[in-house]
């Protein structure tokens, strides 16, 4: 992962666009059940960024996801017009957010650096050897 300057992305229909001014802190693949359902895939690849580095144009809809181990809900934000997932904002720590890597304009450079919540990973999901993996979140 290199510093490519500002990152941009958006939804399928173009109603939501965003810019992230700083490089991500980390790129993490999450295998929790909620992220799998929200992404529609075996896991969700997320860029962890400081919230104050992201600006959004267009209106985000949200759903407060209560299905967390800590009990602190996650604000799952998406385009209200086309449903594309954009980001997840933990209500307990709103200063850091998880932006869905698949909605970046150029996601090629953002392979996951670690896999979390692997205890709920699908048995056929391959996690590359050598990458850190955590049964829960790091530090949990």
Mean per-residue pLDDT for 29-34? 92
Residue 30 contacts residue 67 (beta carbons within 8 Å): no
Q: What mean pLDDT, rounded, does the chain reach? A: 92
pLDDT reported for residue 66 = 87
Residue 93 confidence class, pLDDT cut points 50, 70, 90: confident
Half-sphere exposure (Cβ direction) of 71: Cα atoms closer than 13 Å: 0
Residue 96 corresponds to which tokens in the numbers above?
């850091």
In whole angstroms, give the CA distance from residue 127 to residue 120. 13
pLDDT reported for residue 2 = 52
32-36, 65-69, 103-107: the lowest-pLDDT one:
65-69
Mean per-residue pLDDT for 117-135? 94
What pTM value is reported for the model? 0.90
> What DSSP state is assigned to residue 59?
P
């Amino acid at each position: 992962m290199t510093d490519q300057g500002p990152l941009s992305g958006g939804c399928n229909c173009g109603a939501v666009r965003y810019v992230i001014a700083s490089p991500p802190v980390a790129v993490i693949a999450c295998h929790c059940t909620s992220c799998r359902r929200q992404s529609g895939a075996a896991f969700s690849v997320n860029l962890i960024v400081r919230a104050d580095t992201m600006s959004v144009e267009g209106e985000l809809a949200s759903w407060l996801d209560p299905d967390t181990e800590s009990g602190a809900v996650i604000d799952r934000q998406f385009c209200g017009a086309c449903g594309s997932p954009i980001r997840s904002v933990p209500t307990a720590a709103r200063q850091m957010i998880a932006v869905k890597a698949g909605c970046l304009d150029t996601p090629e450079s953002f392979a996951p650096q670690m896999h979390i919540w692997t205890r709920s990973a699908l048995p056929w999901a391959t996690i590359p050897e050598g990458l850190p993996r955590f049964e829960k979140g790091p530090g949990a």
